[in-house]
Structure 1
């Protein structure tokens, strides 16, 4: 009788055939421990093993081994142990003996409330639940894997640890949120892995990288990598305490935009790209020396195609392996902060590439994207658009943003392609887009997502910046969400950039007739909190470099660019300049080559760099040039109608400080005894003269300053007679600040 009962315990369940065929949707129903009264039946799937033994762990005596019975040649093994006994496997392979815990002996891993919060879009941190997390469960070290794939029939973790065999580690489905989970003992950081997903119809999808992976292989390899769970030891307390003041609308902010792979190639080797360690040694001192308050990195979230410059990101939680490990990236951020340099990352929640190992059709359905291409495909970029109406997708994106800000102490995110998110007809012809529920073109779900994102950042990391690249007139981009706005900290001023670049390329003979292209920007300069940006987009796609767009001969081109940059630094708004422009790089930016550093052998190029350095230092020490950037009280035109001479002059004010007068001569003609009204008498010091010899100019000017006399002009009681150098900007102040 007993023998018959024992034999019945070795009968395999009905789902075993599906398990062996790799199509079992519930592997925990077959594998692991299953109670049968006073004993537990343990089943294991170990194909290619010579034998498998159960090792019973007893609290007061030595472990006991029991053989497991193979089920024909299927790779399935069955053993019997006392109910509740602790056990592990001793697996004999052809060339080794392995001690292994049973991954199917662990119960459900994720909390039901957390699952429900993710499904309802009520969590900002699903990355703490999903992905690969090294941890210890019941005294056993291993990695917990979890992935969202609600429409899959079966999901397995595959990797080096199971010879990429999907039959070895199929996962448990948590129906509450459509999340699959498993804990694999005795593996840890550094393991390569992917997910193999079977559709409902039984079709196996291409192997998928982990959407929540914190690290990945270096492209073109595509596997995810288990990241260390060790917390980085930060040494940037002083910076973090002061960050709120540094990010105020009244603070001096000057951003150096950098594409890391092409900033500088180590040792000039075109086949190498800089590591985070290289950048600590070179980029940080360079940015500090040249006076920038922040650097902004084109996307460093893992991306498969280098030609996208990172804007087609797939690993939204993983710093690119091109430059080092996550710990080395954290060390770079920490080093920046210790040198009082902020770091902003470009971040792309608008769209993602359609690489088969990525998010596209992730579980056999349009999970992260829209099903209808009229909503889900960017024709311009051949990419897919996130479904902002889905709770889980919004949580995925918001958790990415918060991870960079919280885990890596990043100081801000520049959100790319916001305009493409806000409009359903963005770059689409009639009939190729679907109106919103009110029949309009606005993407209401995207706008709600953006508000939710900015509210989450304000709540969790209130001193971080979130900057919009938004090229339309959408109202209230930088107003708070409580006021009906989108909630961004700042917005790139694309209109200012387009108008002024159009103007500066004109022949100086005709500039006086087009002053409106410069004047118009002040009409809306205070409608939002703006960043004036001369970004990577202005020096690529056949547009040429900034210096190449200046009219005139070699000297005039450099003089024109010097004056344009000074105009920008003295105009209301924070500043952003793309790498290479500070040395007047002649050629258009090439992402496959470094900046033309040898150009600095030209005194005019070196002079441009010195000017940018001085403008940045002046921006910091002169409150009138930054304190009221976002307030109309901080600006007043002095001369805005001198069509014949092509001269503009304006005043910048501080809340309680000293004003400055800025005068711009837009022609290559020296103008003597040019009268400019000023708000006070006495000496006005020449803080900047872009025609100075040190910058490569002709050194025309006013010997360091002029005296204002009591002769009314331009609505002021006092005025100065100034020598205006050719194609130059003068910055004058009654006080000479310490540089």
Structure 2
């Protein structure tokens, strides 16, 4: 007689509630030999086949009419490779039994995953096509320590949770299963019975591809091949390199005119990449392309952290887009959101019936501003999930930098909370020590293991040492967005020129702290949404003055210490604020007045001038690279400064933020010689009034501004000019 558990256990596995399927299913030792057990609902007949000998060795008896089969194989003590020949009606299939395979995770992986220091957890968790014991199939693994039972369900098993329950690894709460014959591209989910007995279908947190919304299943995909990091890409990210970033939302940069549908990754590889290269930018920054359920979140509420969104194509097509950018000499930055996630039922919320990925207490785990959940950075596995994701995008897709969103919301427990709505840390402070440790670990390991890739912080407070190394008590980012400069300078530019003399310090204050961090000057999407209007719309005055103000501002920004970032549409002065659901207003470039094309030509020339003049970028983060020449002319709203490189090359920058041209304006300079006007934002080519210095200006031995030599300039109205010192 077969040696079987009692009927209660059989009832549990048939109903899909048995947590230890390997103890019951598969091949087992019994007193009289071997016994094979299988759960095959609706099967009519089942045989055990010796794979090596290719012959039947025993017929499985239907022990329970609901599909539980058992066969005893007497006189055989040694386990052997076997298959099951199954007849469903008139159809016969030979299948490999998932329950004849051993454990999948190795001891070292189990240790590192539990410790939270596995650099590449995505190589072990999720779904992976593989060959095991000469059998092709897919391994599945998911972390859910408090679940009562987890099954893999998909189009390969009729989405039936009874057919493929997983093995629980008690060492670290990971559930695993190798399923033969599953193919790449097939849909799957995890059917989870949580610790409260509730059943839910969940997408794979480590899925490499997901269905197009509103569908939510994961797809089996091979792990993308690693991308080599070229010396040129490393050099382009360096602190002494020119960095000019074009920030893009792929779904609204340009759309098909006939149906307003998105461009594909392939179309973007041709159109966007060539445009960004032509415009002279050095980097493309993508607003999050991680899979996300809601278009209106712009990708900032992701659930598929490891899956490029299907909105624009497949993962392979996204990878080809990144490669096209690299081929064009452009680096790619990805906006990355490890701060929060939405509460969609198929995602991470209460994943195993407990607050697994999120903090349990809403005072820690709920974002009031965004109606989202905050990752629990105190859990090793959660930190590992997120840090590994950063590795994944850099190593597997060739992403050159991660711009980390909303860092302030991560590192402060009282972010956007009133008194009593937050929980202090262990020491009674407001800092989220676990989030800080996570950021330090991620930045440090990316810097150590993936040399050349950079991380950039959108951090809106004055938290000290954002770009200092962790060993110096910093967060370890390579760059920080300079939100203070952006707010001050835009506040100044929105003033009527007659009032600017009273707020002169708004344009000078940024230099006082410009060297406290490695700053990027951002004019991002956040400045052109939610009723804020476009950059052009912020400028005061009539049409001529609006465009002149914007051109002068861009000239000032491109010369100011710090790398540059401009959101799409700003480069041609789009008149309305950004709408994620429509294309940019490219038709503006066809208008006969040329206002918009003039701004576009200016931004293009600024980018090329910026790359050509090493004085504008080489010493961005060293005070030797900057000197005020005129800092106190409040009455005329004029600013003048020198930028220098490591070899003494010098560029003088002068901005006039009034509509009054200044003739014979004298500025003291440190070195005598000839100065050539290399850029003038008031040039006719940019649709300005064409006031300027007509080429070269020579110094006079006339003291001015505490300097022995000076130059007399014509400073155009509402304009910025660049003058390069030339060897005579």
Query: What is the distance in 1 between the residues matched to 2:55 and 2:91?
Result: 20
Q: Deviations over 1:159-191 (max 9, x none)?
A: 101111100011010000000000000112101
Residue 704 (structure 1) shift: 2.0
Give the secondary structure class of the aligned counterpart of 1:518: helix
Q: Does 1:503 align with 2:498?
A: no
Larger mean CA deviation between 93-102 and 243-252 belongs to 93-102
Q: Provide the residue aligned with 2:91 in structure 1.
A: 96
Q: Does 1:660 align with 2:654?
A: no
1:606 pairs, out of 590, 597, 607, with 597
Give the secondary structure class of the aligned counterpart of 2:397: coil
Q: Provide the residue aligned with 1:702 in structure 2.
A: 693
Residue 64 (structure 1) shift: 2.7
Residue 735 (structure 1) shift: 3.3
Q: Provide the residue aligned with 2:11 in structure 1.
A: 17
Residue 618 (structure 1) shift: 0.8
Conserved 8 A contact 2:673-2:726: no
Q: Deviations over 1:522-566 (max 9, x none)?
A: 000010000000000000011000000000111110110001011
Q: Provide the residue aligned with 1:472 in structure 2.
A: 461
Give the secondary structure class of the aligned counterpart of 2:675: strand
Conserved 8 A contact 2:195-2:352: no
Q: Does 1:215 align with 2:205?
A: no
Q: Does 1:683 align with 2:674?
A: yes
Q: Provide the residue aligned with 1:248 in structure 2.
A: 238
Q: Does 1:382 align with 2:374?
A: no
Alignment map for 1:485-524 (pairs within 5 Å)? 485-524=474-513
Give the secondary structure class of the aligned counterpart of 2:599: helix
Query: What is the distance in 2 between the residues matched to 1:11 and 1:558?
Result: 82
Q: Provide the residue aligned with 1:333 in structure 2.
A: 322
TM-score in terms of structure 1 length: 0.96
Query: What is the distance in 1 between the residues matched to 2:80 and 2:165?
Result: 24
Give the secondary structure class of the aligned counterpart of 1:702: coil
Query: What is the distance in 2 between the residues matched to 1:736 and 1:497?
Result: 35
Residue 97 (structure 1) shift: 2.4
Q: Provide the residue aligned with 2:516 in structure 1.
A: 527
Conserved 8 A contact 1:190-1:228: no
Q: Deviations over 1:76-131 (max 9, x none)?
A: 11123344232111222236322210001111111122112211222122111110
Q: Does 1:596 align with 2:588?
A: no
Q: Provide the residue aligned with 1:3 in structure 2.
A: none
Aligned CA RMSD, in angstroms, stands at: 1.5
**Between Structure 1 and Structure 2, how many residues are aligned?**
723
Q: Provide the residue aligned with 1:48 in structure 2.
A: 42
Conserved 8 A contact 1:23-1:202: no
Residue 9 (structure 1) shift: 4.2
Q: Provide the residue aligned with 1:290 in structure 2.
A: 279
Q: Does 1:130 align with 2:125?
A: yes
Query: What is the distance in 1 between the residues matched to 2:242 and 2:95?
Result: 58
Residue 11 (structure 1) shift: 7.0
Residue 268 (structure 1) shift: 5.0
Q: Which ranges in structure 2 are unaligned for 5 or more consecutive residues?
A: none
Q: Provide the residue aligned with 1:183 in structure 2.
A: 178
Q: Deviations over 1:323-363 (max 9, x none)?
A: 21211111111111111100000000111100010000000
Residue 65 (structure 1) shift: 5.5
Change (3 A) 1:199 1:11: closer
Query: What is the distance in 1 between the residues matched to 2:262 and 2:582?
Result: 10
Query: What is the distance in 2 between the residues matched to 1:91 and 1:677?
Result: 92
Query: What is the distance in 1 between the residues matched to 2:519 and 2:64?
Result: 72
Q: Provide the residue aligned with 2:387 in structure 1.
A: 398
Q: Provide the residue aligned with 2:424 in structure 1.
A: 435
Residue 622 (structure 1) shift: 0.4
Larger mean CA deviation between 655-664 and 72-81 belongs to 72-81
Q: Does 1:266 align with 2:256?
A: yes
1:170 pairs, out of 165, 174, 190, with 165
Larger mean CA deviation between 511-520 and 86-95 belongs to 86-95
Write out the 4+ residue segments of structure 1 that deviate beyond 4 Å after TM superposition: 9-14
Residue 231 (structure 1) shift: 2.8
Residue 705 (structure 1) shift: 2.6
1:74 pairs, out of 66, 70, 73, with 66
Residue 594 (structure 1) shift: 0.8
Q: Provide the residue aligned with 2:442 in structure 1.
A: 453
Conserved 8 A contact 1:623-1:657: no
Give the secondary structure class of the aligned counterpart of 1:612: helix
Q: Provide the residue aligned with 1:151 in structure 2.
A: 146
Q: Which ranges in structure 1 are unaligned for 5 or more consecutive residues?
A: 1-6
Conserved 8 A contact 2:251-2:262: yes
1:723 pairs, out of 714, 717, 728, with 714
Q: Does 1:365 align with 2:360?
A: no
